[in-house]
């Protein structure tokens, strides 16, 4: 059975292992050792070499005990900054950081859920159809680990990613596509006090362009943002350079592409109007996915929630996850809520009860998926 003291102790241990994006080596080594102790075959792929990180993705397999129905379980190893030197605090049934870092429940709560379930399966000799566990790198920096994962090593057609807010029973059935936009506006330098009229202020051009863009909530499915602007060298120089970084997202792919194109058009026409030049690059970071309510992966998750008396909620999200990549590669993956709250902030926390419920829920999903009683 699920052991609360054990899962809490492991969670506290893991959040204190630094693993910000690109620096997952220590955690990868620890997790590889744990997985091997639990009887899984562990392989580390070469994604780290491609992405510039210290470690690759971990791919671990547990042979079936019963008829083969392989199921994929996914969580990511990396965390965002400030994520070094985490000091977890346990108080009144809640785990939070000391306040100067994130906690790292995103996604170490997902990792400990999978590890606890594997332990219970081993201890109780539970029947299952075979499990494939993937712990990815670089999720927070653009789903890099999942994108460069050696998918040929996987046999599962269905899986569950444990990487969403909301309590156990939260089932993400739709997630957006995302485009990245980078632009460099090139103006003309001049002395700001002697001959400013001879210059073309690249920052001003960028500001005019941003002011003309439709940003924020575009419609119920689509968002857009300019999040980074930098440029200039000194206050007495008309800046000849300004860099912008932004994004678009939509649950419908063509809307995402249309919003990206509209922002590019604004940048180009505004630059031409002021006699500047602009260099724009766009990149689709990941594609959208939408699962039908009748898909077995959804039905299994709902049945498991019902069996445990949990409230199941089918939701759409504005955030991407490794599930986007796996779905695009032909492995139907549902992203599950694991109770993490205020993630990516120094106020991040998770309830101990949620850690336990997550493990109970995942174990029941595995049981239902294997039994076929859906």
Cα 145 vs. chain centroid, distance in angstroms? Answer: 10
Contact call for residues 216 and 324 (beta carbons, < 8 A): no
- If one counts every other C-beta atom within 10 angstroms of the C-beta of residue 175, the result is 26
Instruction: Pick the catalytic residue from 45, 78, 348, 364.
Output: 78
Q: Which two tokens stand for residue 46?
A: 């070469």
The 10 Å Cβ neighbour count of residue 211 is 10
Q: Which of 230, 185, 227 is nearest to 206 (CA)?
A: 185
Catalytic residue among 45, 139, 163, 364: 139
Contact at 8 Å (CB) between 348 and 307?
A: no
Say if residues 35 and 114 touch (Cβ distance below 8 Å): no
Q: Could you give the 3-state DSSP secondary structure of residue 342?
A: coil
Instruction: Specify whether 68 is catalytic.
Output: no
Strands 71-76 and 158-165: parallel
Catalytic annotation present for 78: yes
**C-alpha–C-alpha distance, residues 369 and 371, integer Å:** 6
d(CA 178, CA 150): 23
Rounded distance between C-alpha atoms, residue 53 and residue 32, angstroms: 17
CA distance 54 to 63: 29
Residue with tokens 């490794």: 322
Show the tokens assigned to 255: 């809307």
Distance from C-alpha of 164 to C-alpha of 212, rounded to nearest angstrom: 34
Task: Give, as one character, the DSSP assignment of residue 310.
Answer: P
Between the alpha carbon of residue 369 and those of residues 131, 235, 374, the distances in Å are 11, 64, 8
d(C-alpha 278, C-alpha 193), whole Å: 25
The two structure tokens encoding residue 137: 């790198």
Tell me how far apart the alpha carbons of residues 175 and 335 are, in angstroms, rounded to a whole number.
Answer: 9
Find residue 223's DSSP bridge partners: 217, 249
Point out the residues that are catalytic: 78, 139
């Amino acid at each position: 059975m699920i052991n609360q003291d054990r899962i809490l102790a492991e969670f506290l241990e893991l959040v204190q292992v630094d693993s910000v994006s690109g620096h997952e080596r220590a955690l990868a080594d620890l997790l590889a050792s744990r997985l091997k102790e639990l009887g899984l075959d562990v392989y580390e792929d070469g994604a780290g070499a491609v992405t510039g990180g210290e470690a690759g993705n971990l791919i671990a397999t547990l042979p079936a005990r019963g008829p083969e129905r392989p199921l994929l379980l996914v969580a990511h190893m990396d965390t965002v900054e400030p994520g070094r030197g985490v000091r977890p605090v346990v108080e009144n049934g809640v785990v939070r950081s000391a306040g100067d870092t994130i906690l790292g429940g995103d996604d170490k709560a997902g990792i400990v859920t999978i590890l606890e379930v594997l332990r219970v399966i081993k201890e109780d000799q539970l029947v299952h159809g075979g499990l494939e566990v993937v712990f990815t790198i670089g999720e927070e920096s653009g789903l890099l680990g999942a994108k460069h994962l050696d998918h040929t090593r996987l046999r599962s057609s269905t899986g569950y990613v444990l990487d969403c807010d909301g309590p156990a029973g939260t089932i993400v059935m739709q997630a957006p596509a995302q485009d990245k936009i980078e632009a460099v506006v090139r103006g003309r330098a001049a002395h700001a006090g002697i001959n400013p009229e001879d210059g073309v202020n690249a920052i001003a051009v960028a500001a005019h362009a941003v002011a003309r863009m439709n940003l924020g909530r575009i419609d119920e499915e689509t968002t857009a943002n300019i999040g980074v602007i930098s440029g200039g060298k000194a206050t007495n120089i008309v800046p000849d350079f300004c860099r912008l970084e932004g994004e678009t997202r939509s649950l419908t792919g063509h809307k995402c592409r249309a919003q990206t194109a509209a922002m590019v058009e604004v940048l180009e026409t505004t630059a031409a109007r002021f006699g500047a030049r602009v260099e724009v690059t766009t990149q689709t970071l990941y594609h959208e996915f939408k699962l039908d309510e009748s898909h077995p992966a959804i039905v299994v998750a709902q049945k498991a929630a019902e069996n445990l008396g949990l409230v199941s909620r089918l939701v759409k999200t504005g955030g991407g996850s490794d599930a986007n990549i796996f779905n695009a590669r032909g492995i139907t993956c549902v992203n599950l809520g694991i109770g993490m709250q205020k993630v990516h902030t120094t106020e991040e926390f998770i309830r101990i009860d949620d850690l336990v419920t997550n493990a109970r829920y995942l174990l029941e999903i595995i049981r239902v998926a294997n039994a076929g009683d859906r």
